[in-house]
Amino acid sequence: MKTRRDSRGLNHDPAFWQGAIDRKPAFESFLPAAAPGESAPVDFWFSFMVPTYNQNGPSCVGHSWANWIESVVRRYVDPIGIPPGRQIDGEAIWRRGRDLLWHGDKSGGLYLNQGFFAAQDLGWIPRDATVLQVRQDWDSINAALLKTPLVQGHRIHKGWFNEDRASGCIDHAPAPDGTGAHATLLMGTLLQPDKSGVMTRFRVSLNSWGADRGRFGFFLMTEAEWYEGTMTDSPWTAEIPNIQNWLSWQKGLAAK
């Protein structure tokens, strides 16, 4: 199989995008620059995101919290602590959540905050950490994004499988049809021109379907699309006291 590389030589094969790889060069061509005064620019978290491996089955909440742990660790604890080829094991978070909260039934997913409790039960998130729900409005979410990325839920429809490879925009022409629910990690907001040149608010998120989906695994939704397609359960994050001394996350690292 031929390796997929861009003009800079960056490898975009999903099998390669596991582990702590500096994604900043990819961001430079990801989107136009944010407008002046943007309060939570996407690049605030972009360079700390660890490219995700492909999600297995209904484990998206586990992967979202794994991505949350990875990005927060890289920003606040140890920027090079996650070696190439290693990631927080999102599958294990999902399995523990199903065992704890769903009597071991592996046929379904988790509610957003249950992924936090599962990771905490595994010992990867400190016992004194607190899970927090963020109000579902633009200003509250922007304020929260200045501290951490946010675990969010979506209503999935067939347009999710037709992302624009150039921009990462999901095709929202098809009306939501109840295909399913899905969790991703909200990493930033943008105010920039849309395809018609109209200044538009966008949300940018990291998916768990592999780096071959959307734009290297990232995708965009306009503010209106986000409110239409986001689950009624508002985004979640966590507060970790003494975060600089947080070492238990290391137990969650899984090999490639």
Q: What is the pLDDT along the chain (256 residues), one digit of tens a residue?
A: 344 444 434 443 434 433 333 444 344 444 444 444 444 555 568 778 876 667 878 999 999 999 999 999 999 999 888 887 788 999 999 999 999 999 999 999 999 999 999 999 999 999 999 999 999 887 888 889 889 999 999 888 888 888 777 667 787 776 656 677 899 999 887 766 666 777 777 788 898 887 777 777 888 888 888 887 776 678 999 999 999 999 999 999 986 5
CA–CA separation, 3 and 236 (whole Å): 36
Taken in order 9, 10, 13, 16, is the CA torsion positive or negative? positive
CA 107 to chain centre: 23
Count of residues in the chain:
256
Tokens of 51: 């490219």
Burial 161-197 (b: 16+ CB within 10 A, else e): eebeeebbbbebeeeeeeeebbbbbbbbbbbbeeeee
Q: What is the CATH number of domain 35-255?
A: 3.90.70.10
pLDDT in tens, 181-224: 899 999 887 766 666 777 777 788 898 887 777 777 888 888 88
Q: What CA–CA distance (Å, rounded) separates 222 from 204?
A: 9
